[in-house]
Amino acid sequence: MVKVVLVTGGNRGIGLEICRILAAAGHKVILGSRDLQKGQKAGDMLKGKVQAIHLDVINAGHIQVVASFIEKAYGKLDILINNAGIGIGSKGAPDADLDDVKQIMETNFYGAWYVSQAMIPLLRKSNDGRIINMSSGMGALNDLTGGYAGYRLSKTALNGLTILMANELNQEEIIVVAMSPGWVRTDMGGAGAPRTVEQGAETAVWLATASRADIETGKFYRDRRIILW
Ligand SMILES: NC(=O)c1ccc[n+]([C@@H]2O[C@H](COP(=O)([O-])OP(=O)(O)OC[C@H]3O[C@@H](n4cnc5c(N)ncnc54)[C@H](OP(=O)(O)O)[C@@H]3O)[C@@H](O)[C@H]2O)c1
């Protein structure tokens, strides 16, 4: 069945690859980009198969315009993929720059929360609503060491939000999950990362399109399998 999908941070990296695969499969993909020109360029690369839209996940005005656009164009949203993310500063908790940490939390954690809250009314209008949060193994509670304190904690917090949202939206049958793409060759992951963007996008695409019976809400996935928080 054709789904209406919103991907944040869709103009490059893993987000762009998710858009490419879902659009090629015939889904209605809305590619959110905080720089509209970059989004349109990415849309052109995908031969106009996606709708590029101006979406900075920490801009309340953008988020409302996107929600109104989706409401008017489709009347519902089936899948929200909270993919947008930043990583600044590599220091550990004892000496991390807390201004950097606040900035990371604003995008990676609050950004996903702001967008989710605005899209939930549209997800309620779907009979197969799902929120997929692009987290990281670096935020897993059993791996909180090795620098990058702000980034790690932003993903730990996103994982917590995933559980809360999943529990609170369970009655309404909206699935909420988090996932780790592994270490992927993108601007963020760097050239030395072992995984391709296709590999990084694969589980997100599966979580977006697999039968509901195959996905457990409120869980953390990697390579289609549930992993520990
Ligand atoms: N690469 C990895 O190894 C890896 C591992 C684990 C998790 N992840 C997660 O996977 C997601 C995608 O990462 P990636 O590797 O594809 O990174 P990337 O290549 O650096 O792309 C990040 C994307 O997020 C967008 N973005 C940043 N801040 C934004 C904001 N305020 N509003 C909207 N978009 C914003 C960027 O837009 P601009 O082009 O405008 O900057 C870009 O499109 C992130 O959440 C990341 O934490 C990545």
DSSP string over 122-177:
HHTTSSS-EEEEE--GGG-GGG--SS-HHHHHHHHHHHHHHHHHHHHHTTTT-EEE
pTM: predicted TM-score of the whole model, two decimal places: 0.99
| Beta-carbon count within 10 A of 44 CB | 11
pLDDT at residue 132, as a whole number: 99
Report residues of the chain scoring pLDDT below 50.
Answer: none
Q: Which two three-digit tokens encode residue 54?
A: 């101006």
Distance 120 CA to ligand 1 centre (A): 22
Evaluate whether 134 touches 202 at the Cβ level (below 8 Å): no
Evaluate whether 75 touches 1 at the Cβ level (below 8 Å): no
Q: How far apart are CA 98 and CA 193, in angstroms?
A: 27
Residues with CB under 6 A from ligand 1: 8-9, 11-15, 34-35, 38, 55-58, 83-86, 107, 111, 134, 136, 180-181, 183-184, 186-189, 193
151 classed as catalytic: yes
**Distance from CA of residue 183 to its chain's centroid?**
16
Q: How far apart are CA 111 and CA 55, in angstroms?
A: 11
Distance 188 CA to ligand 1 centre (A): 7
pLDDT at residue 194, as a whole number: 98
Q: How far apart are CA 162 and CA 220, in angstroms?
A: 9
Nearest ligand 1 atom to the CA of 184 is 3
Nearest ligand 1 atom to the CA of 197 is 16
Going from N- to C-terminal start, the domains of the chain cover 4-227
Evaluate whether the domain defined by 4-227 bears CATH number 3.40.50.300. Answer: no
pLDDT at residue 142, as a whole number: 94
E strand map for the chain: 4-7, 28-33, 50-54, 79-82, 130-134, 175-179, 220-222, 225-227
Evaluate whether 218 touches 163 at the Cβ level (below 8 Å): yes
Evaluate whether 155 touches 135 at the Cβ level (below 8 Å): yes
pLDDT at residue 47, as a whole number: 87
For the stretch 121-155, pLDDT in tens is 999 999 999 999 999 999 999 999 999 999 999 99
Catalytic residue among 114, 148, 151, 221: 151
